[in-house]
A and B are shown apart, each in its own frame.
Chain A
Amino acid sequence: DAGVTQSPTHLIKTRGQQVTLRCSPKSGHDTVSWYQQALGQGPQFIFQYYEEEERQRGNFPDRFSGHQFPNYSSELNVNALLLGDSALYLCASSLRGGNEQYFGPGTRLTVT
């Protein structure tokens, strides 16, 4: 049973650039959530996608956008990168109406 996968594993970008992170949910899951985790902090909710629509959004600026595809995979896009965007970006999948989230290994983004 394939778990949640994310790509790439690591990424280094320069301030002002744009980045796209990718996530494939656990087999059978249809809901994808994205989180930002700074060093020494808990995951902070960015947004959640179900049926290719953004269903919930956390307190993140419009520079953060996403997309969900018909196969339930998802992308997180961040524009105009800031140094403060450096973090571990986590994708979690679940079943809509189900409450158990499973996380991927994360993408570590470094902005220089």
Chain B
Amino acid sequence: QKEVEQDPGPLSVPEGAIVSLNCTYSNSAFQYFMWYRQYSRKGPELLMYTYSSGNKEDGRFTAQVDKSSKYISLFIRDSQPSDSATYLCAMSTPTTSGTYKYIFGTGTRLKVLA
């Protein structure tokens, strides 16, 4: 079993729809949860960063973490064609060297249709 599971999609939605992207994980040591957006042939861009269970909102984006279920979500409101990209979830845990170990999901490809 992979430490982080993410549906690769593709997910196609009409412009203006609410998008829900999800990841599950198996390692209860993960403490920090991130969402990255990656456009084709570009580096990932950090969108959201959360620590505790609950919701965090930033503009049209809401990140949700449920540690008891080992489940995280990213919601995109009023989706736009420019949101079309691959969305990667990532999780981290501290290491003995004082840094962090990061694990990424495989990414979900999203296409927002105009």
Contacts and interface: CB of A to CB of B under 8 A. Distances in A.
Interface of A: 4, 6, 31, 33, 35, 40-45, 48, 50, 55-56, 88, 90, 94, 96-97, 99-106, 108
Interface residues of B, number: 28
Q: Is the interface of B mostly helix, strand, loop or mixed?
A: strand
A99 B8 contact: no
26 contacts: A6-B43, A31-B99, A40-B8, A40-B107, A42-B106, A42-B107, A43-B88, A45-B101, A48-B99, A50-B97, A55-B95, A55-B97, A55-B98, A55-B99, A88-B41, A97-B98, A99-B32, A99-B49, A99-B100, A100-B46, A101-B34, A101-B90, A103-B36, A103-B46, A106-B42, A108-B41
B6 A56 contact: no
Closest 9 CB pairs of A and B: A42-B104, A103-B43, A55-B97, A42-B106, A105-B43, A103-B44, A99-B32, A106-B43, A43-B104
B62 to A, nearest CB: 18
Interface of B: 4, 6, 8, 32, 34, 36, 41-46, 49, 88, 90, 92, 95, 97-107
